[in-house]
Amino acid sequence: MTEVATAGGGAYEIFIGRERLAERVGALGEELGERFANAPEPPILIAVLKGSTMFLADLIRAMPADVAVDFMAISSYSSNEATQVRIVKDLEHDITGRDVVIVEDIVDTGLTLTYLKRSLVERGPRSLCTVTLLDKSARRIVPVEVEHIGFDIPDVFVVGYGMDFQGRYRNTPDLYAVKDLARLANDPLLLVPGLFASAH
């Protein structure tokens, strides 16, 4: 959206810089703090591994509230044109009667969030809401309610600030848009020299 990065042959550009991320995540933290200002017990924030870990770390530090944190990991795979989602790491907390916040990096088709919500509602939380850093609302397949949204973004593939391509590029402070996904798929290391100046 803003500065065009030169390395990587125009394959990527900065999409949301660290200052804008910090500002928006700070505002989301305040929003959530207000939401739970009168809660009987600290809310449990559930981060979906691994993409939302950086967002979670910044979000909870921006929340002027006592919170608990837990993690879930899910895997999704497609078979016979249907996408299957399953839990590969479950919660340590019993969420029965608790206020629960799902912390997502991106809501894209909505399949993952729909599955997660269904699985968590069955456990009888006092309340359940979702905060996502990014919402690709134009790509939604399953309508799903998202109460707190950082940025509504178009259909671009992003990496950085926790988000990956084949496990890489999570650890950049800025968020990047991949402009040529086919090229990156052919050469998954394409962005390394540009994003990590001292890469060997």
Q: Which residues are catalytic?
A: 108
User: Is the bond preceding 50 in cis, omega lying within 30 degrees of 0?
Assistant: yes
Binding test (CB under 6 A) with ligand IMP, winner from 112, 116, 172, 176: 112
Q: Which residue has the tokens 């798929």?
A: 185
SS3 6: coil
- Residue 183 to residues 143, 156, 186, 190, Cα–Cα distance (Å): 31, 14, 5, 8
Pick between residue 109 and residue 119 the one whose CB is nearest to ligand IMP: 109
Q: Is 111 in the site for ligand IMP (CB under 6 A)?
A: yes
Report how far residue 120's alpha carbon sits from residue 113's, in angstroms, rounded to the nearest whole number. 10
Q: Is 106 in the site for ligand IMP (CB under 6 A)?
A: yes
Pick between residue 36 and residue 136 the one whose CB is nearest to ligand IMP: 136
Q: Is 45 in the site for ligand IMP (CB under 6 A)?
A: no
Span interacting with ligand IMP, options 58-66, 92-100, 106-114, 187-195, rule CB under 6 A:
106-114
| Residues from 160 through 189 that contact ligand IMP (CB under 6 A) | 163
The DSSP result for 81-144, as a single string, is TEEEEEEEE--SS--TTSEEEEEEEEESSSHHHHHHHHHHHTT--SEEEEEEEEE-GGG-SS--
Binding test (CB under 6 A) with ligand IMP, winner from 8, 29, 43, 110: 110
Q: Is 157 in the site for ligand IMP (CB under 6 A)?
A: yes
**Contact present, 125 and 95 (Cβ < 8 Å):** yes
**Contact present, 56 and 45 (Cβ < 8 Å):** yes
Binding-site size, ligand IMP (CB under 6 A): 14
Pick between residue 69 and residue 74 the one whose CB is nearest to ligand IMP: 74
Span interacting with ligand IMP, options 26-34, 61-69, 92-100, 101-109, rule CB under 6 A:
101-109
Q: Is 130 in the site for ligand IMP (CB under 6 A)?
A: no
Pick between residue 28 and residue 106 the one whose CB is nearest to ligand IMP: 106
Q: Is 51 in the site for ligand IMP (CB under 6 A)?
A: yes
CB atoms within 10 A of CB 93: 14
Contact residues toward ligand IMP (CB under 6 A) are 51, 104-113, 157-158, 163
